[in-house]
Structure 1
Amino acid sequence: MSRQRIEITGMTCEHCAVKIEAVLEDAGATGVFVDYRRGFAELDPEGVDLEQARAFLRGTGYELGDPLPIEGDGTPEQLDDVTGADAGYDYDLAIVGAGAAAFAGAIQAFERGARVVMVEHGTVGGTCVNVGCVPSKTMLRAGELYGLAGHNPHAGVPTSTAPVDLGALVAQKDALVERMRKEKYCDLIEDYGWDLVKGHAEFGDADSLLVDGEPIRARRYLVATGARPAIPPIEGLEEAGYVTSTSGLELRELPKRLLVIGGNYIGLEMGQLYAHLGSEVVLFEMLERISPLEEPEVADALAEVLASDGVQVVTGARVVRAARDGGEKTLTVIVDGDERVFRGDEILVAAGRRPNTDSLGLERAGIELAGRGGIRVDATQRTTNPRVYAAGDCTDSPQFVYVAAAQGATAVRNALTDGDDRLDYTALPRITFTHPQVAAVGLSEAQAVEQGLDVDVRTLPLASVPRALVNRDSRGLVKIVAERESGRILGATAVAENAGDIILAAVYAVRFRLTVADVASTWAPYLTMSEGLKLAAQIFTRDVAKLSCCAA
């Protein structure tokens, strides 16, 4: 008689699984395996009295379903439907990488009963927890507080600052990273129980993976190898030496003068961080404005903010050469046709990120790259090899950790079921963690016009938001782009303290096709920055300068 699977509701922990296992064995079952996370038990049914087990569990909160036979090797039928029950496979899913996309995919696969192996040659956890979001944002918060302490705008409550101990700050950051890596990544591998193999992975052919030369064969593969800092081909840069967004968070001594190459989100965040901590900062952007992918008003607002922080911003700047001159580093930059030399103690390169797609043997597996060097995927995350999927920063997708995780989960659902799930990026938010923050969602004004849409646009200066006035910092704005005829909100941008929190309401507005009238007539809590979105919607029809503080 074949083994059976019984769905069990009410289990919440390992203790529940142990209890259910004991009850089933007392009822005569043998070979019992209980998985509380996936909510089922597997057993050899001969001689078992399920009614006895049900009677014993009655009133305890657990409930046994009807038994179902398990065919083949015990993996869900959806796997066999897609791939056949070839016993030559070592795993149902092999994942290359151990970051956000990889873990989201592994959890999806494990919850579907798949046999999973994850291969990682470096540190488990990927970019976000190790060298990206977590370490940078805790450092940015420290810099923000230090900057505020030195420039407190409130009368009668003097504050002061002591010299920065960068080594102590970095050590505290490292302790947080280590704890979160353990809790949110390493511990999960043990909790879920998939296999982790340390080593370098590359495809041997279209059907197999080699890990340090040893083959692994899986029914499906997920490539989730992330990205790394891109280094532009600047003459003398390697000889002069530089830091990136990764190594720049490891400096133990504060540079007196820092030269930053790149004026998009990484350069802006890192440049302002060191300016807040006390470095002189010069920031170079090749295009004519910083934050070039956002609304022009964002560049204007950030330029004012950075100037007040002491940052020198040089736009339209083409860095052509780097060098060492005694104890200093230099950058030769062409600005307005003239060649200028800038000096500093350190150079920070923030010129974007490059997908980790080399040394994977992709060509042997028939996996093509897209235009920007990422793995080419379709809307279901499938590569040009139908058995291989890819997710996260190793593709040409938006490089956000929440996108990577969503893609990893979507890719695995599709891989294991031959499904057609697709992600909708229409209401995808984006944030730059400067102070004040920049957050946006949907279409910019220029993008909407390029798509041939007739738009109506309003921009609310932050000076019209009461919260900004009581904070004594009104640098910033809220901008809404709406379809003229319907009033439907197509996009929104905020430059404000906690703009990343404000933008969530705009995400819902874009996602669910709300109009400016909908937002203008919806409750907004007074004396919050989020009220700025409602006020921006109100100025489509009213002059908010002529309203009392909390008038509807």
Structure 2
Amino acid sequence: MKKIQMEIRGMTCASCEDHVRDTLQKNGAENIHVDYQGGKADFQLPDGYKEENIKEKLQKTPYQPGEMIRISSVSEKDASVEGYDYDFLIIGSGGAAFSAAIQASENGLRVAIVEKGEVGGTCVNIGCVPSKTLLQAGHIQFQTEQQLFQGLTTSAQQPDMVGLQNQKEKLVNQLRKEKYEDLIQEYGFDLIKGEAYFRDSHTLSVEGKDLTAESFLIATGASPFIPNIPGLKETSFLTSTSALELKEVPEHLVIIGSGYIALELGQMYRHLGAEVTLMQRSSTLLKHYDPEISESVENMLKEEGITLLKGVSYHKVENKNGQKFVHIEVEGKPETIQGDQLLIAAGRKPNTEKLQGENIDLELGEYGEVLINDYLETNISHIYAAGDVTLSPQFVYVAAHQGGIVGQNVSKQTKKTQNLDHVPAVTFTSPSIASIGRTEHQAKQAGYDVKTSVLPLESVPRALVNHQTQGIFKLIMDAKTNQIIGAHVVAENAGDVIYAATLAVKFKLTADDLQETMAPYLTMAEGLKLASLTFDKDVSKLSCCAG
């Protein structure tokens, strides 16, 4: 098989893609990918088929062929890879895996993904997609019950969790099919079902069958970490996965942990009607953020009736008559927290136990993570790793970024390094929490002469008209250059706002740059400009739009 990329002029929409794809398929092409926006088509032709025949057929349609490039030919692969079943084998099928598979397939490699469960990984199946749709449902329920406008009368019935779960599952199935399963045929790589482990550095064993490859990617993700608390293993408890499958709202949800998963799921069930208690070992909520952010989020939790216990020591967990009893100590005083559901949200651990990495002397870190260099290579140079299994920032867009780099590097097209200097982080509470760059503490530790700006949300007109002023903007500036080196937001749509701040940090914009840029009035993004003005002015003394 030879892989071809052809320029095609005249395509204007997705229907044009379908027409071109049909023409190519009828004339012997396989593994076809058509991109009307890019004006090109990638496809494979069996050896012996003439590319000119394809051109002649397309010339008889409204779509005109242009330059044709022969990307690769399986028959032309190096003698060194003769005998391997694949050029590139990937363990896992999430964001990192698919990004790598698509890139490598487009570059002409024979690629296969090995997956033991549902295709799509954590994000689409048990993470981002199902959690965010239920979070939105909880937000609407809570806003209906607690709306802040005089003159409006709203009411809400008890949520139908079965109905919400059914709608959530339909969405998950749709996105898994469209964004993952359908792409397997589209890009022409193989899907192999089963659990994989390394027999040697060029061989995976999958359900008793050995598969060989020149290169590999470990993209097995991470799963909930279960702390060693006496009695916990003998007690039924929820994880982030099973908490998204409940058919009834708990009366009292007790949560061990207070990170982003605990905050999102805890607030979601509070919004749906549950009593919620969050517990954490640390004496500070969100200890990696600056105090203003932590305080703002803690005030939000209190306003919504969520109980937060800090500085907790866990003694034991018991299960009696369907109730969970968590025996703790807070400030030297013993307490027992009782609830009908217990959620463990104490972090995540890399999925490396089943890989049998000891067979190949694969180097792992303290927490079982796969150790990698800037090229995403492990200590075995033809074996790469990407995504949560490396304990990189646990966001699907980070995993996809890393997977794409692996796909290029393994194709010998480039020798690219990952760049995680400007990774925005978002926690989808309401208001949401978003961050980019350094905190004030981190900036000072790095030796910056720091100047900060703190803007309460009550100074942002969008928040005032919404009657929702719980939140804050905080900017960190290098006092010597006036460059913005950090931005942290607690506000409605903070996740959308933080993208503009990410550009500001990445491209070294100054406070003056933000001040001189027009911000749409009555948007939350205007808070960035107002926060930049706060370095030098009291924005409460400015008229609307006076910035």
User: Shared topology, TM-score over 0.5?
Assistant: yes
Shift of 1:39: 3.1
Question: For the residues of structure 1 that align with 2:54 and 2:89, how far apart are their CA atoms?
Answer: 41
Q: For the residues of structure 2 that align with 1:193 and 1:70, how far apart are their CA atoms?
A: 14
Secondary structure of the corresponding residue to residue 273 of structure 1:
helix
Deviation at 1:64, TM superposition (A): 4.0
5+ unaligned residues in a row in structure 2: which ranges?
A: 35-40
Shift of 1:14: 4.9
Please name the residue that 1:427 is paired with.
Answer: 422
Seen in structure 2, the aligned counterparts of structure 1 residues 49 and 512 have a Cα distance that, compared at 3 Å, is closer
For 1:88, the equivalent position in structure 2 comes to 83
Cross-structure match for 1:341: 336
Distance 1:4 1:518 in 2: 47
Q: Provide the TM-score with structure 1 as the length reference.
A: 0.92
1:159 aligned onto 2:184? no
**Equivalent of residue 468 in structure 1, options 460, 463, 483:** 463
Pick aligned residue for 1:225 from 220, 228, 231: 220
Structure 1 segment 224-373 matched on structure 2, within 5 A: 224-373=219-368
**Structure-2 residue corresponding to 1:403:** 398
1:307 alignment partner, SS class: helix
What's the secondary structure of 1:359's corresponding residue? helix
Q: Is the 8 A contact 2:431 2:491 kept in 1?
A: yes
Q: In structure 1, what is the equivalent of residue 496 of structure 2?
A: 501
Describe the shift of the 1:442–1:68 C-alpha distance in structure 2 as closer, same or farther (beyond 3 A): closer
Q: Percent identity among equivalent residues?
A: 41
Residue 481 (structure 1) aligned with residue 483 (structure 2) = no
Instruction: Look up the match of 2:19.
Output: 15
Q: Deviations over 1:285-341 (max 9, x none)?
A: 111122222222122111111111111111111222100233421111111122211
Distance 1:170 1:333 in 2: 33
The one-character-per-residue Cα deviations of 1:378-418 (angstroms, maximum 9, x if unpaired) are 11111111111111011121111111111111112111217
Give the distance between the partners of 2:434 and 2:375, measured in 1 at CA: 27
Structure 1 residues 58 and 263, CA gap change in structure 2 (3 angstroms)? same
The equivalent residue for 2:42 is: 39
1:338/1:36 Cα in 2 relative to 1: closer, same or farther (>3 Å)? closer
- Would you say 1:65 and 2:64 are equivalent positions? no
Q: Over residues 418-459 of structure 1, what are the superposed CA-to-partner deviations in whole Å (9 max), with x where a residue is unaligned?
A: 742122222110001110000000000011111111110010
CA 1:74–1:464: 2 relative to 1, 3 Å? same
Q: Supply the distance in 2 between the matched residues of 1:189 and 1:312 (Cα, whole angstroms).
A: 46
Taking a change above 3 Å as real, the CA distance of residues 347 and 425 of structure 1, as seen in their structure-2 partners, is: same
Distance 1:351 1:166 in 2: 25
Q: C-alpha distance in 2, partners of 1:244/1:44?
A: 52
Q: Which amino acid aligns with 1:262?
A: G
Q: Which moved more, 1:523-532 or 1:301-310?
A: 301-310
**Counterpart of 1:28?**
none
Query: C-alpha separation between the residues in 2 aligned to 1:232 and 1:549?
Result: 51
Taking structure 2 as the reference length, what is the TM-score of the superposition?
0.93
The residue aligned with 2:176 is: 181
Query: Which deviations, in whole Å up to 9, do the C-alpha atoms of 1:24-43 show, x marking residues without a partner?
Result: x7xxxxx7668444535646
Q: What residue in structure 1 maps to residue 372 of structure 2?
A: 377
Offset at 1:149? 0.8
1:56 CA displacement: 7.5
In 2, Cα distance between equivalents of 1:49 and 1:200: 40
Residue pair 1:490, 1:510 contacting (<8 A) in 2 also: yes
Structure 1 counterpart of 2:505, from 501, 504, 510: 510
Equivalent pair of 1:8/1:40 in contact (CA under 8 Å):
no
Q: Conserved in 2, the CA contact under 8 Å of 1:259 and 1:282? A: yes
Using the TM superposition, give the Cα deviation of residue 124 of structure 1 relative to its aligned residue in structure 2, in angstroms.
0.9
Q: CA deviation at 1:190?
A: 2.4
The 1:122–1:69 alpha-carbon spacing in structure 2 relative to 1, beyond 3 Å, is closer
User: Contact 1:72 / 1:85 at 8 angstroms: preserved in 2?
Assistant: no
* 2:38 corresponding residue in structure 1: none
Does 2:545 correspond to 1:524? no
Q: Does 1:104 align with 2:99?
A: yes
Render the CA deviation track for 1:185-225: whole Å, top value 9, x for unaligned.
Answer: 11111222211111110000111111112111111111110
Residue type matched to 1:539 in 2?
T
User: Which shifted more, 472-481 or 33-42?
Assistant: 33-42
Q: Return 5+ residue gaps in structure 1 as ranges.
A: 26-30
Q: Displacement of 1:511 after TM fit? A: 0.6
Partner residue of 2:536? 541
For 2:293, give the aligned amino acid. V
> How many pairs were matched up?
536
Equivalent residue of 1:549, what SS? coil
User: Using the alignment, how far apart are the partners of 2:468 and 2:58 within structure 1?
Assistant: 65
Q: CA deviation at 1:86?
A: 2.9
Aligned CA distance change for structure 1 residues 277 and 73 (closer, same or farther; 3 Å): same
Larger mean CA deviation between 57-66 and 214-223 belongs to: 57-66
Distance in 1 of aligned mates of 2:219 and 2:527: 38
Report SS of the residue matched to 2:316.
strand
Judge conservation of contact 1:95–1:221 (CA < 8 Å) in 2.
Answer: yes
- Counterpart of 2:456, as a letter, is P
